[in-house]
Structure 1
Amino acid sequence: MPRTKRIIDLLLASIGLLLLWPLMLLIAGLVRLEDGGPAIFIQERIGKDGIAFQIYKFRSMRPAGRGRPITVAGDRRITRVGGILRRSKLDELPQLANVLRGEMSLVGPRPEVRRYVELYTADQRLLLRLRPGITDPASIAFLDEERILAAAPDPERAYVQTIMPEKIRLNLAYAERATPWSDLLVIATTLRSLVRRSSRQGQVAWS
């Protein structure tokens, strides 16, 4: 499984970059045009075996407006272009480079910042045996995470005490039965969920 998974990661990430580089170039230009800041956001995350690495994203927030690690819907730090990128998850496309570098997989638990990893219990730290990914079952389950957090009196507390433990549980359970085919299904389900959400939002915008 690990060898097959890595081959699939390399193949699909390479194809993705070859096909999507014009879109990625356009996104980078739009991000820079909005406020003149850098197109790529780089942040330390904790990966497999607790090893830190630099994750790549298209920047969706103002350079001088970074604060708490989590983001809620309506956060004033989010730019106009950034809001579109976050809703469509297009801000994650640069992580295809992380996949090629072997720091991430296409499917695996989303990597956390050190601040939250340090809160893991002994059982939750089993997650660090897995290579982090661009998408996972928890990402699908919590596709509207930012809206959920926006409704919480204390968003960070809600994330740490409720959402994060559930994400870890879902990912550990998935890892026990994961196969290359189930990974492909997770990717397909993620894409389908994003298309459906974009369609719903488009209908609301036109109504």
Structure 2
Amino acid sequence: MGKSHWGLAAAMLVTAVGAGVFFGLWRPQPPGVTPIPGTGVVYVAPGGGEKADQARETEIVVHVSGRVFRPGLVRVSASARVGDVIVAAGGALADARLDEINLAAPVSDGVQVVVPGPGTRLEAHSAGSETANGSSGLVSLNRASVGRLEDIPGVGPVLAQRIVHHRQTNGPFREVEDLLDVSGIGERKLADLRRHVALP
């Protein structure tokens, strides 16, 4: 092979290598991916692509009303609790009666969380309220505050305090009949209370 042929072959080889390098460096990048020059490292923009779609799918919308700074609709994680929802609404106002709702109660998409204040009457469908058992007007033995228990006919501040103390000392009531273990509650009193209380 003559010198001219060797020269032509060398030129073609250099051209092929150069083209390979060019297309290797300039190949299209996926959306949200940026090469960092001189490092061989790419930067993936956060919040893009499939992960962002999955994050949106795990969010829920909850209606917050009552004694919060920003009442209205809020977006929270699907695993959020009532306390998280209140924070998302800007937090509770100073006169909010947080002891009357269950801050640890889970929430679901489309529910309403009512943060009560002075004079607020919680409805049975309010997430995290004592009457969240689905039975209108019933008071939850395991969630109600002393003040809420006093709303039950025939229950005064002393008996209400005994019920709460028993719950704190022995754990949640497992059945309504457990009220018989509370000092001051007998069979007749229990029969009266059955119409006004519920579990959990």
What range is the shorter-chain TM-score in? under 0.3
Higher RCO structure, 1 or 2 (CA under 8 Å, sep 6+): 1
Normalized per residue, which structure has more helix? 1
Structure with higher Rg: it is: 2
